[in-house]
Amino acid sequence: MKCPHCQSKMKRELMEDRVPVYRCVSCAGTWVSSSEFADWVEGQSSVPVKEEISKESVNIPVLGARKPLLCPDCGRIVRRFKIWPNLEFYLDRCGGCNGIWFDQHEWEVFNEHWSVKNLNMFFTDEWQQKLKKEEMASRFSAMYLERFGEDDYNKIQEIRKWIYANSNKNQLVAYLLDSNPYES
Ligand SMILES: [Zn+2]
Ligand SMILES: [Zn+2]
């Protein structure tokens, strides 16, 4: 098998916990074939995915510009997937056979923070949609913060929470928006 990134030779390796992979002798990228990974992961007990990861704790590998990759197993184009909201960390996965590519250091970083046992979860529609939703929410949050300023934004969030938890929600909103609620 040839490296999809630099066309050098790839050699067989067993990563920690004996995950069978191909590793490029030149660029140190790692290819995980889908069926081999499925066999391996089936025998593994799952580990919980962390709820939160601080951006600062992830040492994102710096990569140069790169051409799109072609899958070394089936020849189709490999797609980039974001892994975590608001974090510029991507993995590449083949749309044809589901093989996965890690550029140099990406395997180690991924395994440290998310565990390779959870690898497939990050490519599901469910996860990818959740990720986009969270990114959207943080963009809105940043917009409100800029519009209102920190103090007012904190205050309005508290008021909103209180109103929405109240069984008289509609009357409270009506009272609030009425310029003179003491006149008929
Ligand atoms: Zn290579
Ligand atoms: Zn493929």
Give the domain extent around 71. 10-129
Phi, psi of 94 (to 5 degrees): -75, 130
Q: Are residues 123 and 42 in the same domain?
A: yes
Q: Are residues 157 and 124 in the same domain?
A: no
Ligand nearest to the CA of 1: 1
Residues 156 and 82 in one domain: no
Q: Does residue 94 lie within any of the structural domains?
A: yes
> Which amino acid is located at 122 in the chain?
F
Residues with CB under 5 A from ligand 1 (ion): 3, 5-6, 8, 24, 26-27, 29
CA-closest candidate to residue 157, choices 142, 144, 175: 144
Question: Is residue 48 located within the same domain as residue 104?
Answer: yes
Lowest mean pLDDT of 26-35, 42-51, 95-104, name the range: 42-51
* Per-residue pLDDT tens digits for 53-85: 888 888 888 877 778 899 999 999 999 999 999
- Shared domain for 110 and 34, answered yes or no, is yes
The answer to whether 139 touches 133, Cβ cutoff 8 Å, is: no
Q: Which ligand is nearest to the CA of 5?
A: 1
What is the domain count for the chain? 2
The pLDDT of residue 52 is above 90: no
* Same-domain status, 108 and 22: yes
pLDDT band at 90 (very low <50, low <70, confident <90, very high): very high
Query: Per-residue pLDDT averaged across 160-183, rounded?
Result: 94
| Over residues 19-36, mean pLDDT | 95
- Separation of CA 31 and ligand 1 centre (Å): 10
Nearest ligand, CA of residue 35? Answer: 2
| Alpha carbon of 72 to ligand 2 centroid (Å) | 7
Is residue 31 situated within a structural domain?
yes
Same domain, 15 and 57: yes
Residue 172 lies in a domain: yes
Q: Which ligand is nearest to the CA of 6?
A: 1
Ligand nearest to the CA of 3: 1
Task: Check whether residue 19 and residue 104 sit in a common domain.
Answer: yes
Residues 73 and 44 in one domain: yes
On whether both 62 and 19 belong to a single domain, the answer is yes
Separation of alpha carbons 154 and 139, rounded Å? 16
CA of 119 to the centre of ligand 1 (A): 21
- Give a yes or no: residue 143 inside a domain: no
Q: Based on the fold, state whether residues 120 and 36 are members of the same structural domain.
A: yes
Position 29 pLDDT exceeds 90: yes
Residue 107 one-letter amino acid: W
Q: What is the DSSP letter of 80?
A: E
Q: Judge if 71 and 154 occupy the same domain.
A: no
